[in-house]
Structure 1
Amino acid sequence: MAESEFRHDVCVVGGCGHVGLPLAITFASHGLRVSVSDINARAVETVRSGRMPFLEAGAEEALRAVIGRTLEVGTEPGLVSEARHVVVVIGTPVDEHLNPTFHTMRRFFQGLIPHLRDGQTVILRSTVFPGTTEKIRALLDRSGLRVRVAFCPERVAEGKAMEELVVLPQIVSGCDERAVEAASELFGTIAKSLIVLSPLEAELTKIFANVWRYIQFATANQFFMIAADHGLDFYKLHDALTHDYPRMAGLPRGGFAAGPCLFKDTMQLSAAYDNNFALGHAAMLVNEGLPNFLVKHAKGRFDLATMTVGLLGMAFKAESDDPRESLSYKLRKLLEAEAETVLCTDEYIRDPNFLPVEEVLARSDLLFIGAPHRRYRELSLPSDLPVVDVWNLYGRGTFPG
């Protein structure tokens, strides 16, 4: 099939999710003919109606402007065959032993091969285990297809995708010069600038970025724990460290380091380095251990077994409706093992087991802040309600005095 015969400029496969949909909308907003192929029929119908299936600032208005015009959405895998570029947002997952499972990626592409056509460019978008791009190229070559293979990692923060897709530099890599040229042409329509690397360089660059953030958060959380064990307010120390002192400006505040990427990618890098990544494993122990630390300190202050405990915020971060890998759920499990009753609420996640925040406040003897949603700052808390506030949302330190 000649390039001029493709009905769409780009098809985003798995494109109704947090990575793919903002990208598809952005391409369509810049005049490209875009299709989205996704097996989630419910999400597809939601997008077709001009509504976002998840929170993403600025996305729904942009979606309504392009849906049915420059953006087509469907469950049909045949959409893949009609696009010049095929962007795949399926990443390499980690199994229960924290090892990457490339066989999942292999099975996905084996199912995709019947829908690919000569002359296309296949672009991997999600974070992948180092070496994956070349393995996919080899798999497609063995199938007899003449397609180009590229890796152009997603670099935006969830919730800020529509803004960051057009202002951040885009890393572009490919298995040959023609793949780099095709991917550069595609992302050049939206990105502020392009950085060209080899596939392995690009894969490691993406993983390094996520792991660096995870380690930064672990450093802050370790400092937080040390301060708390000394009976001190970490946030008083944090303010002293960072106030008008540029060398410490990069020190994060404490809080849950969670979500679908940071932990997983730290474990991917460790596996790629023969499990000799001690710094990554240490960061994992700190970040994943923070809920346990909070409950341990709460037990030292309160008789949890007789208390109703309220948990505000179940998303993995503020102003998000994404529960994936949220440490609030780990915190809930720990509290359920210690407290008489645990009540949960969230401003954005819809769960029949969650209660309105007002009811949680009225019934709770003790409150934990799981996700620091903006609305929680505005709550009028009962003066006698103690709060375990790892985020220092209320400016009173983490643990009640």
Structure 2
Amino acid sequence: MNKIMNKTAVIGIIGLGYVGLPLAMEKAKAGYKTIGFDIQKKKVDMVNSGVSYIGDIQSEDLIKMTASGQLSATNDWSFIKEVDCVAICVPTPLDKHKQPDLSYIKESVKNITQGLHKGMLIVLESTTYPGTTDELVKPLLEDSGLKCEEDFFLAFSPERVDPGNLIYKTQNTPKVVGGVGKKSTELAAALYRNVLFGEIFEVSSPEVAEMEKLLENTYRNVNIALANEMCIICEKMGINVWEVIEAAKTKPYGFQPFYPGPGIGGHCIPLDPYYLTWKAKEYDYDSRLIEAAGEINSYMPQYVSERAMRILNKYKKTLNGAAILILGIAYKPDIHDIRESPALKIIEELIRHGATVRYSDPYVANFQWKEIFLNSVELTADEIERADMVIILTDHSCYDYAFIQSNAKIVFDTKNAMKQIKNRCNIECI
């Protein structure tokens, strides 16, 4: 506790991705010597050179931290011995059966045990199912011979990162902390209070903290699924779902607006609910609502492809042989992240039905997904005019939607990005 409070503690961050690098920056800015660990040498070299690969981190800020010696990166695990507090910020993907893959966590803990020493604090930030900290991480650490809450301390504090959010960053987003015991909770909470500006909310156990993270993203998943299902029903009934939502928003209580779209993407919402459904089966419970929401959201890329086919039919065109221009493949506006982006599945569906697909995204120069490799094209009048249909999948703020509409034969708008366009003769909404 003394080291935390006087900022002589050395901080380790395992995993320098969208969660780890911003957290490492905040620890370094707060005055702690911080060491970032990552298995990708390219990331290590970029951090040490002051080159940011994360949209929310400016290279200028990174250069200041590395040049001052407050922040460094390495793939040499022997440096873990120098660390007093370590945060695990590694991916927790799903396998092909949509079951949790905790291999990155296990490998991280294995590396920590090489330098585990008395007084050390370990905080798991990677999203996972309730019980991971207590049932998996703790026993692996105790295999070293040291005892949790006596020799070392262990807590779970779920990451809350929203790439591209202009208001809430790592520094000012409230943080939840749950330790395996009172000492662990106090130490972890003290560290975060010394680093972050947001409220630090202490809970009674790691399981509570693990579950609240899953509730956050399952809540969004389920409500997005409701909006998507309303969208499908409204389209069949000839009702504008966007107008329905705007009308519902006028109620000052009991309603929070969620919006339909081509599907869900990113590193949290498409994955996290499956951690909960998987764990629930251990207790002989089928989480039917959550699973149904997952099915609806997973269907949306196919629905967009089918709608595109029907819209083209209205104009006496077929999807087979059609030239399709996709606008935006990032999973949300104004970022370059394409993880789990529904655009990838939609492009695959369109190509499978015989369409020729091109895309334009100022944030994503090119991508490879499965057997598909495409380069972004410049969004010119000629490029728009040559397309039989323009499909808006990401509503980047830099797009000139009036320019797009005026040059397009047909626009299929899945994000209601063209709501301000008055001449809507060639616009179809999801």
Provide the TM-score with structure 1 as the length reference. 0.91
Q: Does 1:192 align with 2:198?
A: yes
Question: Once the 2 structures are TM-superposed, how far is the Cα of residue 104 of structure 1 from its aligned partner?
Answer: 4.9
Letter paired with 1:67: T
Q: Matched residues in 1 for 2:83 and 2:166: separation? A: 23
Select the residue among 158, 166, 172 that pairs with 1:167: 172
Aligned residue for 2:387? 364
Q: Matched residues in 2 for 1:81 and 1:7: separation? A: 15
Structure-2 change in CA distance of 1:160 and 1:24 (3 Å): farther
Letter paired with 1:263: P
Q: Matched residues in 2 for 1:241 and 1:143: separation? A: 57
Question: Per-residue CA shift, 1:325-367, capped at 9, x if unaligned?
Answer: 1110000000001243111222112317223232542431101
Letter paired with 1:169: P
Select the residue among 241, 249, 255 that pairs with 2:248: 241
Question: Once the 2 structures are TM-superposed, how far is the Cα of residue 384 of structure 1 from its aligned partner?
Answer: 4.4
Contiguous gaps of at least 5 residues in structure 1: none
Contiguous gaps of at least 5 residues in structure 2: 313-317, 368-373
Question: Once the 2 structures are TM-superposed, how far is the Cα of residue 224 of structure 1 from its aligned partner?
Answer: 1.1
Give RMSD over aligned pairs: 2.4
Mapped contact 1:172–1:180 kept (Cα < 8 A):
yes
Aligned residue for 2:127? 127
Residues 5-154 of structure 1: pairs in structure 2 closer than 5 A: 9-14=10-15, 16-56=16-56, 59-69=58-68, 70-135=70-135, 136-145=137-146, 146-154=151-159
Question: Once the 2 structures are TM-superposed, how far is the Cα of residue 164 of structure 1 from its aligned partner?
Answer: 3.0
Select the residue among 386, 390, 395 that pairs with 2:414: 390
Select the residue among 389, 398, 414 that pairs with 1:375: 398
Question: Once the 2 structures are TM-superposed, how far is the Cα of residue 400 of structure 1 from its aligned partner?
Answer: 6.3
Mapped contact 2:323–2:356 kept (Cα < 8 A):
yes
Share of identical aligned residues, percent?
A: 26
SS in 2 for 1:122: strand
Mapped contact 1:22–1:162 kept (Cα < 8 A):
no
Mapped contact 2:86–2:121 kept (Cα < 8 A):
yes
Select the residue among 293, 296, 318 that pairs with 2:333: 318
Letter paired with 1:345: S
Question: Per-residue CA shift, 1:60-111, capped at 9, x if unaligned?
Answer: 4432332232111222222322111011112433211111134553344224
Mapped contact 2:161–2:170 kept (Cα < 8 A):
yes
Question: Once the 2 structures are TM-superposed, how far is the Cα of residue 378 of structure 1 from its aligned partner?
Answer: 4.7
Q: Does 1:300 align with 2:310?
A: yes
Select between 37-46 and 122-131 the one with higher mean Cα deviation.
37-46
Question: Once the 2 structures are TM-superposed, how far is the Cα of residue 121 of structure 1 from its aligned partner?
Answer: 0.6
SS in 2 for 1:36: strand
Letter paired with 2:198: K
Select between 335-344 and 18-27 the one with higher mean Cα deviation.
335-344
Q: Matched residues in 2 for 1:221 and 1:186: separation? A: 41
Mapped contact 1:314–1:370 kept (Cα < 8 A):
yes
Letter paired with 1:82: E
Select between 220-229 and 390-399 the one with higher mean Cα deviation.
390-399
Mapped contact 1:91–1:128 kept (Cα < 8 A):
no
Q: Matched residues in 2 for 1:384 and 1:134: separation? A: 56
Runs of 4+ in 1 over 4 A off after TM superposition: none
Aligned residue for 2:428? 399
Question: Once the 2 structures are TM-superposed, how far is the Cα of residue 213 of structure 1 from its aligned partner?
Answer: 0.9
Question: Once the 2 structures are TM-superposed, how far is the Cα of residue 278 of structure 1 from its aligned partner?
Answer: 0.8
Aligned residue for 2:293? 283
Letter paired with 1:250: Q
Mapped contact 1:172–1:194 kept (Cα < 8 A):
yes
Q: Does 1:219 align with 2:226?
A: yes
